[in-house]
Amino acid sequence: MSGRLATVGYRIAHAIPVILGVVVVSFLLTRALPGDPAVYFAGPAADEASIAQIRTALGLDKSLPEQFFVYAGDVLSGDLGQSISTGQPVLSDLANRLPASLELTLTALLLSCAIAIPLGVLAATRPGTTVDHLCRVLVTAGVSLPTFFTGVVLIYVFYYLLGIAPSPLGRLDFIYIEPDHVTGFYLIDAAIAGDWETWIGAVKQLILPAITLALFTLAPLARMTRAAMLSALSSDYIRTARAAGLTENKVLFTYAFRNALLPVITTLGMVFSFTLGANVLVEKVFAWPGIGSYAVEALVVSDYAAVQGFVLAMALLFVALNLIIDIAYTLIDPRIGFETR
């Protein structure tokens, strides 16, 4: 176990340069964006003098290295700056909006896993049959549509035509009372407060956007499950296990599935990253107050502080996620053990 602990420590140590890299890259990327935020924020009738005033106020009159050190110093002291487009501190903006995005993404991924993994296993155990083909067609159809299009179509059909779905107005219809803030996840907060009406209200708002995202993430998960299961099932140890007379279920779930999990988890990590990105578009369609839509708005108006803060928050999230995946790797696949090689 100490070897594994060392591996974990080694991983964490290696995450630090990534975060530094992200800070630098995000700083440079935001500075490479076109446009002059000072002009944009000076308002409709500003003249040269007022633009210059705002440039100074934003610290944009300093040289790039100076701006970077100011920024790095602020980040170290936990200050991500003020977003100019929402007028709030970036940290509080992110804290308000991150749970919204995570709630949506995780719900979508759970939904997706619950459908995709059984589908993938099913397809892999019956390769070449109608079931297999049907699975392929189904999941492929889901991934083949742009999320914003699916979103609009779902709204059109279920809200506009049928009137089943609630109005696409963000996380809660305004007639519900927002649950007291504990985690920021409405489903959890409402459950803690025992307010099931609100819980149901929040679920209703979640359904359409979560389906939109889940449809889109079914394919990579199901396909990777199928591919990994197929290659696991055709490997020597499975043949051995079968020859040894183990039951089909034991072979399937204990041996094949465990080995197939490795690429599935890699894919899950990728899909999570991809989904948070795809969120941007879904959030826009469903007026979902998440960080994706926040980042897009910020990017469009060159709101440096907001873009950097967003990227930094994402980076931390992803570094943590990758760590978990790596650790899961070492637990699942004993062949990987970097510290010994």
In the window 35-74, what residues touch other proteins (CB under 8 A)? 35-37, 39-47, 49-51, 53-54, 57
- In the complex, the smallest distance separating the C-beta of residue 254 from other proteins, rounded to whole angstroms, is 21
List Cβ neighbours of 261 (8 Å cut-off, separation of 6 or more). Answer: 228, 332
CA distance 104 to 94: 15
Phi, psi of 180 (to 5 degrees): -60, 140
Question: Is residue 287 a contact point for other proteins (CB under 8 A)?
Answer: yes
- Footprint of other proteins on residues 178-237 (CB under 8 A)? 178, 180-181, 195, 197-198, 201, 219-220, 223-224, 227, 231, 234-235
Binder of other proteins out of 191, 299, 327, 328 (CB under 8 A): 299
Dump the DSSP string for 181-235.
Answer: -SSS-HHHHHHHHT-HHHHHHHHHHHHHHHHHHHHHHHHHHHHHHHHHHHHHHTS
With residue 16 as reference, give the H or E element that holds it. helix 2-32
- In the complex, the smallest distance separating the C-beta of residue 340 from other proteins, rounded to whole angstroms, is 12
Looking at beta carbons only, is 180 or 247 nearer to other proteins?
180
Piece of 112-120, 129-137, 237-245, 248-256 that binds other proteins (CB under 8 A): 129-137
- In the complex, the smallest distance separating the C-beta of residue 43 from other proteins, rounded to whole angstroms, is 3
Binder of other proteins out of 65, 128, 245, 334 (CB under 8 A): 128
Largest CA distance in the chain: 85
Angle at the Cα of 242 (from 237 to 247), degrees rounded to 5? 125
**How many residues sit in the footprint of other proteins (CB under 8 A)?**
121
Question: Is residue 337 a contact point for other proteins (CB under 8 A)?
Answer: no
Terminal-residue alpha carbon distance, the chain: 17
Looking at beta carbons only, is 247 or 339 nearer to other proteins?
339
Q: Is 134 helix (H, G, I), strand (E, B) or coil?
A: helix
Looking at beta carbons only, is 50 or 125 nearer to other proteins?
50
- In the complex, the smallest distance separating the C-beta of residue 56 from other proteins, rounded to whole angstroms, is 10
Question: Is residue 305 a contact point for other proteins (CB under 8 A)?
Answer: no
- Footprint of other proteins on residues 138-157 (CB under 8 A)? 140-141, 143-149, 152-153, 155-156
Question: Is residue 243 a contact point for other proteins (CB under 8 A)?
Answer: no
Piece of 25-33, 70-78, 114-122, 249-257 that binds other proteins (CB under 8 A): 25-33
Binder of other proteins out of 1, 2, 5, 17 (CB under 8 A): 17
Question: Is residue 294 a contact point for other proteins (CB under 8 A)?
Answer: yes
CA torsion 288-291-297-300 (nearest 10°) is -140
Residue that the structure tokens 């489903």 belong to: 187
Binder of other proteins out of 110, 114, 177, 331 (CB under 8 A): 177
CA distance 279 to 231: 32
Piece of 19-27, 63-71, 206-214, 242-250 that binds other proteins (CB under 8 A): 19-27
CA distances from 65 to 26, 31, 54, 72, 193 (A): 14, 11, 20, 10, 49
- Footprint of other proteins on residues 73-102 (CB under 8 A)? 84-88, 93, 96-97
Return the HEC string of 62-127: CCHHHHHHHHHHHHHCCCCCECCCCCCEHHHHHHHHHHHHHHHHHHHHHHHHHHHHHHHHHHHHCC
Looking at beta carbons only, is 242 or 247 nearer to other proteins?
242
